[in-house]
Chains A and B, each alone.
Chain A
Amino acid sequence: MNIKVLLSSALLLISTSSTAETVFVSLEKDNAIAVVDPIAGKLIKTVNIGQRPRGIKLSPDAQTLYIAVSDDDTVLEVDANTLSVIGKLPSGEDPETFAINSLGTRMYVSNEDDNQVTVIDLQSKQAVATVAVGVEPEGIAVSPDNQWIVSASETTNMVHWIDAKTHEIKANTLVDPRPRALSFSADGQQLWVTSEINGSLMVIDVATKEITQRIHFAVPGVGKEKIQPVGVVVDDIHQWAYVALGPANRVAVVNAQTYKVEKYLLVGARVWNLAFSPDQQRLYTTNGVSHDISIIDLAEHKVTKSIAVGRYPWGLAVKP
């Protein structure tokens, strides 16, 4: 297996070509977004955006940046080139996390206080439906084929499978306590879910909606109660998954084939959310308490740099 790892790492290295890209980071306490050039390793500027920005995502064409400004009760539509606000979306109260389908036509917002998911049509900018889910919905994702919207409720401890056409819940999967983030594999066959309270990572088979793998973490010298998994991403070739371990200050590197934890990478304090570079050569992390982002070289699985960005970096989006 180690040989396989080395080989694929080598392959990845050969295919690498660094292109300019921009990382946008929402800064919860600065009411701003940070604009970072990760290749140069520099913070370019900080732009005031609205009250308590958290969830941040790019449209599939990378031209529009969506930012949930929780205390303004809206999701902002921002021109990704000029960073000027184009519009405001009717997200419902206190929006934190949201997902966009691959066509860029629909947005799904978790309304934590109202136990619902709001469906927004991105062309008309109207809320077209609300779906009642469990207590404190947080993590949300759309399957790559746009068939499923999955919503994780933190207190009900379930993943709800919402049919994207009818907006009806078709199935519920009971998961470990306080599920936080969820992420589909690129082929749409697996859903990876983190449990903050159990310190676990679950892999759910999308066809059967059953948990097929449960992975636990143990970092030498770090108490197990500090291991609180939050963000999770799986690479496109389904070789590696990466999990942010919160106050354990580490990103776990999980072999997506064998489900073994191969390595723990020390990043900043309370690592929260993760995003790949467009070529998946790098992984960016927001470190909430140390007020910086870390850059991980994925060919080497090494942390190469950390960049101070501002107070309480929450989420990030990467523009090619």
Chain B
Amino acid sequence: MPTRLFSFFILILSLVCSTQVPASDHQDIKIAYITQEQQVPALEPFVADKGLQGALLGLKDSNTTGQFTDQNYLLEQVIVPIGGDVKAAFTELLTQGVQLIVVNLAAAQLEQLDQINKNQALLFDVATRTDAFRHKQCLSNVLHLLPSRAMRADALAQYMLKKRWNRWFLVQGNTPEDALYAQAIKRSAKRFGMKIVAEKKWLHTYDARRTAQSDIPVFTQVDDYDVLIVADEQGLFGEYISYRTWLPRPVIGTQGLVATAWHRTHEQWGAVQIQNRFKAMASRQMQEQDYAAYLAVRAIGEAVTRTRAMDAVSIKAYLLSADFKLQGYKGRPLSFRSWNGQLRQPVLLAAPTSLVTAAPLEGFLHPNNELDSLGYDQPETQCQ
């Protein structure tokens, strides 16, 4: 029967371990969450507990699961005030023997903690997007939950390629982070065969009264281009560009159409459920850092439920194994890249009040996992 030849199947007999949850010894799993209070840029609304609420929701969901497995999760919150000593607070956690630590801190601070840590605890970075940590200067016992700049730039590039916006005008702000973002954009341009036809640095004032109407039309008079890409991570001037360019062109990058791990308008793949749960708990919308912290705690929960181990070494081994598949409300199983600890995940492309699409887009293929079409892939990385 030729039709039978079309049948492809893999059948795995489960002979490894028991799946029925046994009545067993009670376990308390201690997770720490460390962050530092900070001043926020003027344009952003102030959210005091960005990240923490996500960790708390992850804790709640894990404890709902834990009631059936006799496992209880505890979250120790360490919130260092402005000017406080983060390193001392972290050292204290290590002294207490905490093995699993969610870190919501800037890149430079994470790097310091990694040096103090010396592979004692497993760190879950829910804040940085630094490409260096995923590419050249990998941190050995750190898992990164948010997409890197390279992943975000690749997501945008896939969309621009699909729309045939092939000629880019790159506008870069003045901060070191803006330079890193612009670097990621240039890397993506090369990767996807796009052309940066104009490139300018924004050196004007940040005062909306002056910049918006007068400076931007003048500033954006360059040779013809398809799309303007703005690199302004702090949001100091990027918001003023849309609708004011000399030529009528879409704005994409850190403002306009943005690439993000999570967005309030995302509803597909069961996302409505977690958006509702989060709003009911935190009385606000879930933000990227909340999503990252939620996933960090849920990843720990999955590892603990399935292995009944609580130590950093076993949890890390499980999270980096092929068995680990995390449901992240984005339609594909999430997992960690073994070469740099980056969480593989779809990247959402969103306008302020609507979700445009999710990358990887249809047709961007990869020999192992389409999610690896975003960011530094194994052959590119210099990490071990």
Interface residues of A (CB under 8 A from B): 2, 112-113, 115, 132, 134-136, 153-158, 160, 169, 171-178, 197-198, 204, 208-220, 223, 225, 228, 259-264
Question: What's the least CB distance linking A171 to chain B, in Å?
Answer: 6
Sample (7) of A-B pairs whose CB atoms are under 8 Å apart: A157-B65, A172-B69, A178-B270, A212-B14, A213-B13, A217-B9, A260-B11
Q: Which of B44-52, B145-153, B210-218, B325-333 contacts A (4 or more CB under 8 A)?
A: B325-333
Selected contact of A261 from candidates B7, B18, B273, CB within 8 Å: B7
Residues in B with CB closer than 8 Å to A135 are 61, 64-65
Closest 5 CB pairs of A and B: A261-B9, A156-B65, A172-B21, A218-B8, A216-B10
Closest to A212 in B: B14
Question: What's the least CB distance linking A267 to chain B, in Å?
Answer: 16
Residues in B with CB closer than 8 Å to A172 are 20-21, 68-69
Question: What's the least CB distance linking B270 to chain A, in Å?
Answer: 7
B12 at the interface (CB under 8 A from A): yes
Given contacts A218-B8, A225-B332, contact A175 B19 (CB under 8 A): yes
**Apart from A113-B276, A155-B65, A220-B6, what 14 extra A-B contacts exist at CB < 8 Å?**
A113-B273, A115-B64, A154-B327, A156-B61, A174-B305, A177-B326, A177-B327, A198-B325, A198-B333, A210-B19, A216-B11, A219-B8, A225-B370, A264-B7
B57-90 contact mask (Cβ, 8 Å, vs A): 1 or 0: 0000100110111000000000000000000000
Give the CA-CA distance A158 to B13 in the complex, in Å. 19
Contacts between chains A and B (CB distance < 8 A), count: 119
Selected contact of B325 from candidates A115, A134, A169, A177, CB within 8 Å: A177
Given contacts A115-B64, A177-B326, contact A218 B21 (CB under 8 A): no
Residues in A with CB closer than 8 Å to B333 are 177, 197-198, 225
Selected contact of B21 from candidates A171, A225, A228, CB within 8 Å: A171
Q: Are B4 and A173 touching (Cβ within 8 A)? A: no
Residues in A with CB closer than 8 Å to B43 are none
B289-309 contact mask (Cβ, 8 Å, vs A): 1 or 0: 000000000100010011000
Selected contact of A112 from candidates B8, B69, B273, B365, CB within 8 Å: B273
Residues in B with CB closer than 8 Å to A176 are 325
Give the CA-CA distance A290 to B8 in the complex, in Å. 26
Residues in B with CB closer than 8 Å to A134 are 64-65, 68
Selected contact of A263 from candidates B3, B270, B365, CB within 8 Å: B3
Residues in A with CB closer than 8 Å to B67 are 132
B277 at the interface (CB under 8 A from A): yes
Q: Are B19 and A169 touching (Cβ within 8 A)? A: no
Residues in B with CB closer than 8 Å to A156 are 61, 64-65, 68
B108 at the interface (CB under 8 A from A): no
Question: What's the least CB distance linking B79 to chain A, in Å?
Answer: 27
Selected contact of B1 from candidates A2, A210, A261, CB within 8 Å: A2
Given contacts A2-B1, A113-B276, contact A174 B19 (CB under 8 A): yes
Interface size range on B against A: 35 or more
Closest to A138 in B: B270
Give the CA-CA distance A155 to B327 in the complex, in Å. 7
Closest to B67 in A: A132
Give the CA-CA distance A216 to B325 in the complex, in Å. 15
Q: Are A160 and B326 touching (Cβ within 8 A)? A: no
Question: What's the least CB distance linking A224 to chain B, in Å?
Answer: 9
Question: What's the least CB distance linking B268 to chain A, in Å?
Answer: 11
Q: Are A155 and B9 touching (Cβ within 8 A)? A: no
Give the CA-CA distance A223 to B3 in the complex, in Å. 21
Question: What's the least CB distance linking B184 to chain A, in Å?
Answer: 25
Residues in B with CB closer than 8 Å to A198 are 325, 333
Residues in B with CB closer than 8 Å to A216 are 9-12
Q: Are B9 and A136 touching (Cβ within 8 A)? A: no
Residues in B with CB closer than 8 Å to A210 are 14, 18-20
Residues in A with CB closer than 8 Å to B4 are 2, 262-263
Question: What's the least CB distance linking B3 to chain A, in Å?
Answer: 7
Residues in B with CB closer than 8 Å to A220 are 6, 8
Give the CA-CA distance A1 to B294 in the complex, in Å. 49
Question: What's the least CB distance linking B371 to chain A, in Å?
Answer: 8
Question: What's the least CB distance linking A255 to chain B, in Å?
Answer: 9
Give the CA-CA distance A215 to B8 in the complex, in Å. 11
Most chain B C-beta atoms within 10 Å of own C-beta, residue among A197, A211, A214:
A197
Given contacts A134-B64, A136-B270, A198-B325, contact A218 B10 (CB under 8 A): yes
Give the CA-CA distance A231 to B74 in the complex, in Å. 36
Residues in A with CB closer than 8 Å to B13 are 213-214
Q: Are A155 and B14 touching (Cβ within 8 A)? A: no
Give the CA-CA distance A262 to B13 in the complex, in Å. 18
Q: Are B64 and A158 touching (Cβ within 8 A)? A: no
Q: Are B11 and A259 touching (Cβ within 8 A)? A: yes
Most chain A C-beta atoms within 10 Å of own C-beta, residue among B19, B21, B302, B327:
B19
B327-353 contact mask (Cβ, 8 Å, vs A): 1 or 0: 100011100000000000000000000
Give the CA-CA distance A177 to B325 in the complex, in Å. 7
Contacting residues of chain B (16-45) with chain A, CB-CB under 8 angstroms: 18-21
Give the CA-CA distance A178 to B276 in the complex, in Å. 18
Q: Are A173 and B21 touching (Cβ within 8 A)? A: yes
Question: What's the least CB distance linking B56 to chain A, in Å?
Answer: 14
Closest to A175 in B: B19
Residues in A with CB closer than 8 Å to B6 are 220, 263-264
Residues in B with CB closer than 8 Å to A263 are 3-4, 6-7
Give the CA-CA distance A307 to B308 in the complex, in Å. 49
Residues in B with CB closer than 8 Å to A213 are 11, 13-14
Selected contact of A260 from candidates B7, B12, B365, CB within 8 Å: B7
Q: Are A173 and B8 touching (Cβ within 8 A)? A: no
Residues in B with CB closer than 8 Å to A211 are 14, 19
